[in-house]
Amino acid sequence: MSAIESRSLLLSIRCYRGLLRAYPQTFLAEFEDLLCQAFGDLASRAVQSKGHWGLLVLWMRTIPDLISSVFSQRFRSAAEWSFRLRWILACTAGVALAATLIFGPAFLVFQIKMWLGLLSPHPSHFVHVMPRPQQPTISTNVRILLDAGLIGMLLGLFQSLALTWSRFRRAVWMLATTVGVVLAAGVILLVPVVATYLRVTIHPWRLILDQHESLYYGGATVFCISILGMLQTLVLMRQGTRALTWIPASAVGILVCIPVVMYPPGLPFVGFVYGLLTTLPLEWIFRRRIDERAVAVGSGKLLS
């Protein structure tokens, strides 16, 4: 075996070991060394018999088998998919129920008026279901904060149930979620108020608003969508430093959901979109516990 072939063999084994990282940790703990040894033997025989061509043929057979095996190992874990499904359903149910409680009464009144013939069945009349734009008032702001509190409470409740924690940690998660949503709504309400105050007063920050208005509103937006993740991360810190990744993951999920929120009929799908975007980051945060405590579906102790 030439020096070039020897280096190619070592490089192939190293690449193969790197590709094995796609397997679940529990699988690697048991079979990684055996798989590397088997591939090393096959690669050595291929190089000795046919050189680089034999090594190339081996890789052409190995990669499809490796992809198929990884998918079978990843998708066969009932515990992992149970957690993902629970989380997505929890986010969907929490937001959908809150939207129903907030907008349901107005929609019911609209339907009653339709049945009584007080309104013509024209699609434009659907706008009566939603609150009309109006000048902010104290009562309007209080109503917004109360609605935000309801959304946060129900979302936190269903999420805490999906996490299958103890009652105390569920209560803490609910509190963090409720406070996070309310604070985010409060920041949204305060941003234009602060901007108005800065414009009518002599304040150093007025220069930022006058010369870099996009920086002011952009920074406020980033802070607003990050509040929920920040507070929930305090509860997740028990999982280690990985919990810090929940802040950007949650912020991205909220940011993607903003266009859906702006379209009222899409409100029931906001929770589904958020849950779908955040389930994998959250699973990664809990990865060690999921691998160590993988149990049958319904055991109720996956993340306890």
- 291: how many CB neighbours lie within 10 A of its CB? 17
User: What pLDDT score was predicted for residue 223?
Assistant: 93
User: What pLDDT score was predicted for residue 108?
Assistant: 66
Q: Classify residue 29 by burial, with Cβ atoms within 10 Å: 0-12, 13-18, 19+.
A: exposed
Which residues neighbour 234 within 8 Å (Cβ) at sequence distance 6 or greater?
176
Q: How many CA atoms lie within 13 A of 106 on its CB side?
A: 13
Alpha helical stretches, state H, the chain: 3-19, 25-75, 78-115, 138-163, 167-200, 206-211, 213-236, 246-261, 270-285, 287-292
**Six-digit token pair at 215?**
């920086």
Q: Are 206 and 199 in contact (CB under 8 A)?
A: yes
Chain centre distance of CA 49? 50
Best CA proximity match to 250, nearest among 218, 273, 216: 273
DSSP character string of 54-97: HHHHHHHHHHHHHHHHHHHHHHT-HHHHHHHHHHHHHHHHHHHH
Q: What is d(CA 102, CA 150) in angstroms, rounded to the nearest whole number?
A: 9
User: What pLDDT score was predicted for residue 69?
Assistant: 80
- 226: how many CB neighbours lie within 10 A of its CB? 19
pLDDT by 10s per residue, the chain, length 304: 677 777 888 888 889 888 888 888 888 888 888 988 998 888 888 888 888 888 888 887 888 788 778 777 766 555 667 788 889 999 999 998 998 888 777 666 666 665 666 555 554 444 444 444 445 566 888 899 999 999 999 999 999 998 888 889 999 999 999 999 999 999 999 988 888 877 777 767 677 677 777 777 888 889 999 999 999 999 998 888 889 999 999 999 999 888 877 765 666 688 999 999 999 889 888 876 555 454 433 334 444 4
User: What pLDDT score was predicted for residue 58?
Assistant: 85
Q: What is d(CA 221, CA 242) in angstroms, rounded to the nearest whole number?
A: 24
Q: Are 19 and 35 in contact (CB under 8 A)?
A: no
Q: How does 151-168 read in b/e, with b if 16+ C-beta sit within 10 Å? A: bbbbbbbbbbbbbbbeee
Sequence ranges of the domains in the chain: 3-75, 78-292
**Six-digit token pair at 34?**
């055996």
Q: Which residue has the tokens 């802040």?
A: 247
**pTM score:** 0.64
Best CA proximity match to 24, nearest among 78, 70, 87, 81: 70
Q: What is d(CA 256, CA 77) in angstroms, rounded to the nearest whole number?
A: 29
Which residues neighbour 85 within 8 Å (Cβ) at sequence distance 6 or greater?
none
